[in-house]
Structure formats: C-alpha cells, structure tokens
Amino acid sequence: MKINWELKTFNELSVMELYTILQLRAEVFVVEQNCPYLDTDGKDLKCFHLMGYDEKAALIAYSRIVPAGISFKEVSIGRVVSSPNVRNTGAGRALMQKAIEEIKLKFGETPIRIGAQLYLQKFYESFGFVLASDEYLEDNIPHIEMLLN
C-alpha cells in the first residue's frame, strides 16, 4: 500500500484537513471504541500533525507529534489512528515508523514517551518501546506509558 505523508503544524492545516482529522479520530476513538471523551484537548495547537493519505487522497492514518513538556517531559506520539478501511494492511505500522522518523528529523535522537492503550503493548514493543509505568485508566480504557530510548 502506497501512503502519501504530510506533516504540518496546526496553523498550516487547512479547514478540510482539520475536519478529516477530527472525523477519523471521532470515528475510531469515540464511536468504534465507545468512549465519549474530550478529543479537542488544546494540545493540537502545539503539535505537528502527521497525515497519511491513500491514492484517492483519503485520510487513512494519522498521529500527532507532541513536543516535549506538553504531555510528558519527553517528545510524544499521540492520537495514533488508522482508518477501519485499512486495518491489517500495515498502515498502522507505517504510521508509527514515519512518526518516529519525523521526530528524529525535528528533534534529533531523543527519547519518546507514549501513553498506549494496554492491548497495543506488543505492537509498540515491536518498535522498541518498553513498559515505563503501571497500568492506569484513561477515559475508562486501560493504558500504560511506554518509552523508546
């Protein structure tokens, strides 16, 4: 699967890009996971937004790169999401690889801390992340912090 990547600051996003980002995040995190939560947490304004598009220019993968000092003392990757239409195609793996690559380009070799849904622990471990906290509930979903050095 060919994915076309774009990385933008919040102020560089078009209204349509922002709409499709919020639509995908709501489709998966709110509707699919049945988890009502406040997605627009104020962090988007300070983040880089990594968007992956298919050959039809549909948004199929997204994450936000959170600079150090906003979510954690380290740089972070958050709101990692792929469209249900591309599950099990490698799009999620490509998204994480691209996010890590972009962090290295923007911030150099630096630790990356994430707040991961517990059921995705093995997925993140496959990139070298290690467990860095006890399990905790966030929006009633079990999470763990993981760190990539």
Q: Are 68 and 22 in contact (CB under 8 A)?
A: no
Q: Would you state the pLDDT for residue 35? A: 81
Could you say which architecture CATH assigns to the domain 4-109? 3-Layer(aba) Sandwich (3.40)
Nearest partner of 30 among 129, 128, 104, 141, judged by Cα: 141
Mean pLDDT over each residue of the chain, to the nearest integer: 94
Contacts of 34 (CB under 8 A, 6+ apart): none
Q: Are 95 and 80 in contact (CB under 8 A)?
A: yes
Per the DSSP assignment, residues forming a β-bridge with 8 are 49
The pLDDT tens digits for 99-132 are 999 999 999 999 999 999 999 999 999 999 999 9
User: Global pTM?
Assistant: 0.93
Nearest partner of 75 among 40, 120, 43, judged by Cα: 43
Q: Would you state the pLDDT for residue 81? A: 95
Nearest partner of 76 among 109, 99, 53, judged by Cα: 99
As a whole number of angstroms, the distance between CA 20 and CA 22 comes to: 5
Contacts of 101 (CB under 8 A, 6+ apart): none
pLDDT: which is higher, 30 or 13: 13
Percent of the chain whose predicted confidence (pLDDT) is above 90: 87
Q: Would you state the pLDDT for residue 57? A: 93
8 token code pair? 């933008």
The pLDDT tens digits for 63-97 are 999 999 999 999 999 999 999 999 999 999 999 99
pLDDT of 1 higher than 80: no
Query: Domain map of the chain by residue range?
Result: 4-109
